[in-house]
Structure 1
């Protein structure tokens, strides 16, 4: 299974196992056990790498002071053999809940003193919550046993495995958040929002060699981790990133620490604190050693997603250096208190991004005063309006605010990104292209129509420091306009044609080809086939040719980057490099949306990068591996996981079918197509049956399918009634008993083709041969084509063929499946590379080649729309109505009826004539 499949499987199973426990609470248990497994596996990996034998490992006990000291100093903690996750699994039925409670207690005792801030109390939530997993020791033991067996297959060592572990961890957090109602926003920032904030920060810090980042409301820690990943694309040594985190709630504080540790971040680079960010600012010193640990904490970047509009206590905080310069947030809304806290901890060249409710942009009172001070002090760099319903548990409108300590420019970039998203379930989700566009816009501070605007300080002052996005960026769709003259008399307004100016600029003389001059400021459509006229125009052909020229060597470029450098390329940096290349190729190509092209890359890269990680971790032979295809099936009312064939570890079976085994694959497809044809023929015959025939015994209760047994019985009945001269003669022969009579009969009757039967040695024909020939004659009898009998014969033949073809398809599919497995396992290096090229490069290049067609299709649709808009004039409609009324009135004149009928018709005629 790939990481997505494994994560989905764990989530589905965990969701069933949690029973009545709330999702938001159950996450603490499953994630706690995942973290314990990680620590156990990490210790085992260290021991094995340092020459510990299995016997040595099984001898690990807390009483062995020397070994405990050695392990603690190198790993940061010590876990005895009896307490290892792998030991729990080996215990089988002997496993008990007490094994867990004892192990967690021992862990707290055996933490390296220098790592206490990272590990101390990290399992408190799990320890205190074990009692909720069952009403008795036995039920708790079973629940825990089920949990540890559920997560036992998560890999936890090596670069690839860190990624799998981290992916599963984040996936589970996000799924629990999505199912936890209003509590979700307290500890989880959707990955896409986190990535957007991270990319903005990373772009600002990309030239630094050492970086300190801080999240004062860290929740699950995803924001910090994503920033680290984004920065890693620009920095040479990821160990030069230091992570500071603070979280109020013990449970989510533990999530932060677990998440950071499991990403392979060095414990020395993790500094965390469980505390109230607003009430108790980051300590200036460690109480144990106040002099040497004095640290006011100034960092390169702060990211946060604080709880929205939370109540807080501003009493006696006027002199707090975090708020003194700007003012105190109101008691009912702590949004600006969090913002000012973040800003205070920034270095002079630092940057911060914070998620806040939209109201912080326009609310007055204390918040309005803080906003004014921030603007006049030139700290607000950008404001990004996000789509609604993007956070779990709330549909509140949110923004990301970007602030800096020192800025060269004095304007504020305002971005309305509320329209760019896709719908996923109940929530909206930013696409990769949406994130890229926002980050690029913020980085270059671009003014983009209906998307972004650099608001000068003077403009903001005129708006009384109100930063509400619609005041600066109008992203609404314009109302459709209708030209009164064209509506009445026809023609296409030149003003509406002019709205397509970007196309006319890109395609010189195309407008003149499509439209001719009409009356006054109006034009007429000059062509019959708009699509053909556009596609065949020289300017459009030149546009397509230029595009193809720009991407002529794109496939060879990708091959060089991804295939030739497969073992050495830097996966985290490669997508940036590829997107820059695509953007460069599009620099001089009009009309093509470069972010649409980027989305195509991002969609494919999500798959390519997973393959690359596997190859770089496991070696190139991973391409030649197949894995058991494990599926969930029900047996005896219970679900169990069973193997259902094989799947490629990297290479999909279908790709091998299309390339290396095309002959076998096409032959199978042909037989499958024949099955489809047979089913269509059944439907045709069903449709041709009369109601009486359809309701006969040959169809099922719903009369929408044939019943094989009944069709067979009906066929026997029909055949028994078949009567021909040859059949009558054969039946007469069958009635004879004496040999002499039979021989005489045979000589006398040439109306039977006797040679179609196998004769006895004495020249007569036995009963079996005669009956077989009779059946053959009956079945060969041709009934009238549209008769019920002919249809039954046809159905019977189709059923026989269906059975034969199904058996062939099943056998051929099984044979092809096993041949595909063998083919993948015996691939040469050259074949493996060619398949990777087919999987990675071909889909991307083909989708990019379609971009010019998409542009011309949009243009054709727009031209059709404006031409059809005024094709039927109002006067023509009125004229048609009048003509219809006149015709109807004339028809009424021909009607006759009694006195009252005629009075009614006369009144109706007056209405038709408008009298």
Structure 2
């Protein structure tokens, strides 16, 4: 399975296993064991690289000081063979919680002194939490055993960004965050927000050879790691990025360290601190050697998602160099304290991104003064308003603020990205296209209607340094206006037709074809079929042809990039190359939102990139690998994983069947279609039954025939049937002597005796004769719609259905196995063709459908305008008058007593408007 499937499987199982343990706590256990597995396998890999074999690994123990010292010196820690994760697994039922306790204690005393800041106390949360995994040692042992077996198959050697471990780790952190309620904000920034911040930072740092990144509220470390991954696409070589992290909560601090180590980052490039960022700032020094260890911290990028509006103590902070130039954040809200802390630590050419609550943009007093100073000192580069309910544990609207120490421009870019998202369960989620649009807008500093605006410092001053986004970007929907004249007379306001100006500019002759002016301000629709006229327009045809022309060689471009060079290309760079190519092809095409096209590509890229990762890690032959298809099934009340057939590691069975086994698929579908037809024929026959017959032949729900009742009824019908032939044959059956039978045969030439095979004596056996009689009766036709007709038809259908189901099952099993062998025997050229079908064809089909969507939107908008004014008030009034007149006429025809007639007279006056 790919990394997405593996991660989902582990999450599903882990979530069930945690039982009543809080998600926020259970994450520490499963992630801690994953980390221990990683460290164990890293040590085994190192030992084997120095000549150790599986045969001699059991000899690795603490008493061998030379080996232990060598391992600690090279990887920073030492784990004896008896304490390895794989040894736990191999113990089977002999494994116990004591094995974990002993191993973790041993790990703590076998850390190299130069790596203590990275590893010391890293399993503290796991050690103290073991007691919560059960009430007894036996129950704890069982829980831990289940947990370690759950994660034992995660590959730990990330290659070429394949990084299954890192992906699973991040996936689990996000899932636990989603289930942790308000506690989620303590340790996790949603992946999409991380990507957004990462791409903004990466663009700023793209020309540097070495980069240092700092997150002062690091949480799980995922935000910082995403920044590093985005930056790495511009930086050549390994270990060119140094990570600084600080986190207040001990268990979350341990997550940061684990996450960084498991991403393959060298220990020398990891500097972490467990402490209060606002109270224990860098510069950092060892109290035993303050001069020799003094280390002021200035980095290329600071990124953070601090706790929102957290109380803090600003006492005695007036002279703190972080705040001295700007002011102190109020005691009840530390938002600006975190911001100024971050700003202080970036180099003159650095950049910072910080997530904050929306209130920091407009709250007054101390915060208003800080905003003023930040603007006047030209530090704020951009403010991005995010959708509400995008962070786990809080629904408040948030922003990302981008700041720099030195800027050439003095304006501020405001972006209202609050409308761009999709619903994802209870939360909102940024799409790939939303992220791309925001990042491009920041990079290009664009003014986009209802989305972004570059605002001068003077305008901000005029607004008294209030940075509330709606003051500068109006993203509200236009109010719908109803034209009174058009509502009265049913004409169309030209002003509302003009609102489709982008279409009339793209299709110069189309407007005149659709509308006819009735005055300088109003018009009418000039055609009966709007859709037909639009789609047959020469302008629209030219638009469609221009679009297709720009993408004519797109397939060749993708084939060369994705398939011909699949094993050599950098995955991150491939995505950027394809994105740029799509944007270039759309540059001269009107009406098409390039970000909608990008979203189509981004959706396909998820599967494409996952496949490429597998191929680059395992080699091209991974495309020809078939894996067991493991599913969870219940047995004896317990869930267990069992194999249910096979599946291609990269190539789906269904696609291979459609492409290379079409005849087999066709035969199978014919049988399946016939099975569907039988269901329809059953329904038709049920409709022919009388109510009494339904009671007898159908089930309790009256929706299906009961086979036993059908067979019994059919038997009775057959027994009552008699013909001259059947009577003759039944007489023959009574005869017992061979001579009598021979004579009988000679006397009855009207019987087609040749339909049966004679015995040696020249007579015919009872079995054959009875079958002959049954065949004669079965050939008899009944009146259509009669009970006999229905029962016979149903019985035939039941028999046919049984044969079909058996045939379909056999054909499906044969096709499944044939597909397996077909995939395993594919030629490289066949694989390339199938990869094209899987990766390229769907993307091209989606992109080629863009022009049709553009035209559909135009048709919908014109239809809406026509419906808006299709019923005018003049017509309604006329219809009312006619109805009243008709009603008055009917009243005249009524008869009644004196008082009835007086009442009707008054009603006529009302109808007449008196």
Measured against the shorter chain, the TM-score band is over 0.9
For 1:890 and 1:778, the matched residues in 2 are separated by 72
Once the two structures are overlaid, the 10-residue window that deviates more, 628-637 or 214-223, is: 628-637
Once the two structures are overlaid, the 10-residue window that deviates more, 799-808 or 254-263, is: 799-808
What are the superposed Cα offsets for residues 33-92 of structure 1, whole Å, 9 maximum, x if unpaired?
000000000111111122112233211111211111111111111111111001111111
Residue 596 of structure 1 is matched in structure 2 by 596
Shift of 1:405: 0.9
Residues 278-357 of structure 1 aligned to structure 2 (within 5 Å): 278-357=278-357
Residue 778 of structure 2 is matched in structure 1 by 779
For 2:717 and 2:913, the matched residues in 1 are separated by 69
Shift of 1:568: 1.0
Shift of 1:623: 1.0
Matched, 1:167 2:157: no
Once the two structures are overlaid, the 10-residue window that deviates more, 703-712 or 256-265, is: 703-712
Residue 720 of structure 1 is matched in structure 2 by 719
Shift of 1:264: 0.7
Matched, 1:186 2:191: no
Matched, 1:67 2:67: yes
Matched, 1:803 2:802: yes
Residue 149 of structure 2 is matched in structure 1 by 149
Q: Rate the CA distance shift 1:912–1:49 in 2: closer, same or farther, 3 A.
A: farther
SS at match of 1:54: coil
For 2:3 and 2:478, the matched residues in 1 are separated by 44
Residue 532 of structure 1 is matched in structure 2 by 532
State the TM-score, normalized to the length of structure 1. 0.96
Q: Please tell me whether the aligned partners of residues 157 and 163 of structure 2 are also in contact (alpha carbons under 8 angstroms).
A: no
Residue 706 of structure 1 is matched in structure 2 by 705
SS at match of 2:56: helix
Residue 468 of structure 2 is matched in structure 1 by 468
Residues 49-448 of structure 1 aligned to structure 2 (within 5 Å): 49-159=49-159, 163-448=163-448
SS at match of 1:318: coil
Q: Rate the CA distance shift 1:44–1:745 in 2: closer, same or farther, 3 A.
A: same
Q: Please tell me whether the aligned partners of residues 130 and 140 of structure 2 are also in contact (alpha carbons under 8 angstroms).
A: yes
Residue 855 of structure 1 is matched in structure 2 by 854
Shift of 1:485: 1.4
Residue 832 of structure 1 is matched in structure 2 by 831
For 1:676 and 1:790, the matched residues in 2 are separated by 21
Q: Please tell me whether the aligned partners of residues 214 and 245 of structure 2 are also in contact (alpha carbons under 8 angstroms).
A: yes
Once the two structures are overlaid, the 10-residue window that deviates more, 766-775 or 317-326, is: 766-775
Q: Please tell me whether the aligned partners of residues 162 and 614 of structure 2 are also in contact (alpha carbons under 8 angstroms).
A: no
SS at match of 2:596: helix
SS at match of 2:163: helix
For 1:443 and 1:525, the matched residues in 2 are separated by 44
Q: Please tell me whether the aligned partners of residues 558 and 840 of structure 2 are also in contact (alpha carbons under 8 angstroms).
A: yes
SS at match of 1:679: helix
Residue 811 of structure 2 is matched in structure 1 by 812
What are the superposed Cα offsets for residues 460-503 of structure 1, whole Å, 9 maximum, x if unpaired?
12222211112221212212222211211122221111111111
Q: Please tell me whether the aligned partners of residues 161 and 613 of structure 2 are also in contact (alpha carbons under 8 angstroms).
A: no
Q: Please tell me whether the aligned partners of residues 158 and 165 of structure 2 are also in contact (alpha carbons under 8 angstroms).
A: no
Q: Please tell me whether the aligned partners of residues 437 and 595 of structure 1 are also in contact (alpha carbons under 8 angstroms).
A: yes
Residue 516 of structure 1 is matched in structure 2 by 516
Q: Please tell me whether the aligned partners of residues 305 and 354 of structure 1 are also in contact (alpha carbons under 8 angstroms).
A: yes
Residues 531-680 of structure 1 aligned to structure 2 (within 5 Å): 531-680=531-680
What are the superposed Cα offsets for residues 660-712 of structure 1, whole Å, 9 maximum, x if unpaired?
11111222122222222222322333345454444x23222112222222222
Q: Please tell me whether the aligned partners of residues 117 and 272 of structure 1 are also in contact (alpha carbons under 8 angstroms).
A: yes
For 1:898 and 1:778, the matched residues in 2 are separated by 77
Q: Please tell me whether the aligned partners of residues 162 and 613 of structure 2 are also in contact (alpha carbons under 8 angstroms).
A: no
Q: Rate the CA distance shift 1:561–1:902 in 2: closer, same or farther, 3 A.
A: same
Q: Rate the CA distance shift 1:101–1:485 in 2: closer, same or farther, 3 A.
A: same
For 2:897 and 2:121, the matched residues in 1 are separated by 99
For 2:33 and 2:226, the matched residues in 1 are separated by 23
SS at match of 2:138: helix
For 1:12 and 1:893, the matched residues in 2 are separated by 77
Q: Rate the CA distance shift 1:742–1:391 in 2: closer, same or farther, 3 A.
A: same
Shift of 1:290: 2.5
For 1:180 and 1:458, the matched residues in 2 are separated by 45
Q: Please tell me whether the aligned partners of residues 158 and 164 of structure 2 are also in contact (alpha carbons under 8 angstroms).
A: no
Q: Please tell me whether the aligned partners of residues 362 and 368 of structure 1 are also in contact (alpha carbons under 8 angstroms).
A: yes
For 1:361 and 1:687, the matched residues in 2 are separated by 71
Shift of 1:726: 4.7
Considering only aligned residues, what root-mean-square deviation do their CA atoms show, in Å? 2.2
Q: Rate the CA distance shift 1:870–1:735 in 2: closer, same or farther, 3 A.
A: farther
Q: Please tell me whether the aligned partners of residues 155 and 161 of structure 1 are also in contact (alpha carbons under 8 angstroms).
A: no
For 1:478 and 1:490, the matched residues in 2 are separated by 23
For 1:54 and 1:762, the matched residues in 2 are separated by 79
Q: Rate the CA distance shift 1:749–1:885 in 2: closer, same or farther, 3 A.
A: farther
Q: Rate the CA distance shift 1:740–1:828 in 2: closer, same or farther, 3 A.
A: closer
SS at match of 1:562: helix
